[in-house]
Amino acid sequence: MTRVRAAFARSSFSELPSTPESRFAAVAAVIAEGAGGPELLFIHRAEHPDDPWSGHMAFPGGRVESGETPGSGVRRETLEEVGIDLDRDAAALGRLSDLAAIGRGRPMGLVIVPFVFELTVRRPMVTNHEVEEILWVPLAFLAERANRSTMAWHHGGAEITLPCFRWHGRVIWGLTFAMVDELLERLAGEEWRVKSEE
């Protein structure tokens, strides 16, 4: 974790243009020390017809409500979805670059602001109705190029091959894959020894 902290202490991120009318969502990439080294927290979103990311692997988070900042919104959403109090049990490491949200192949008119936290105290986590399960994936696994895979995505009658990670039957792809990729770029040059197998 010392190397993770150092990587984010010297990193930068890019922000998308916004106006007072812009809508935001915020997510938390939560890293914790595990038995085999640092691990990254993912949620498997519950199936829901009104959720454009229904059933996807994601980071905890959601829409920023009126009167909130992205920072306060991600803290509320993370507490609601997985029971982690980021103010009490985590340290903010930095941010990743903003992303324009895409759901079911269409722009959502929403800016996603990803934050990175180090979980300093592990407590039992409690999920709400939006989360089917929680998974911790070793950074060493994600950083190993051989563990990258591809998936077929169908949209508008066309089949597109997209990059992904596969972890114990779960597929990490799309916007979440892009955020993981940037996080790994920030850590480029760090030595991660793979201690876990898919």
Q: What is the pLDDT of residues 120-147, one digit of tens each?
A: 999 999 999 999 999 999 999 999 999 9
Q: What is the pLDDT of residues 96-113, one digit of tens each?
A: 999 998 876 777 789 999
User: Can you tell me the mean pLDDT for 170-186?
Assistant: 95
Domains of the chain, start order:
2-143+174-186 (3.90.79.10)
What Cα–Cα distance (Å) separates residue 69 from each residue in 74, 81, 89, 163, 184? 9, 18, 20, 32, 26
pTM of the shown model: 0.89
pLDDT band of 18, cuts 50, 70, 90 = confident
Q: pLDDT value at position 53?
A: 65
Residue 48 is classified by DSSP as: -
Contact (Cβ atoms closer than 8 angstroms) between residue 27 and residue 61 = yes
User: Can you tell me the mean pLDDT for 19-41?
Assistant: 94
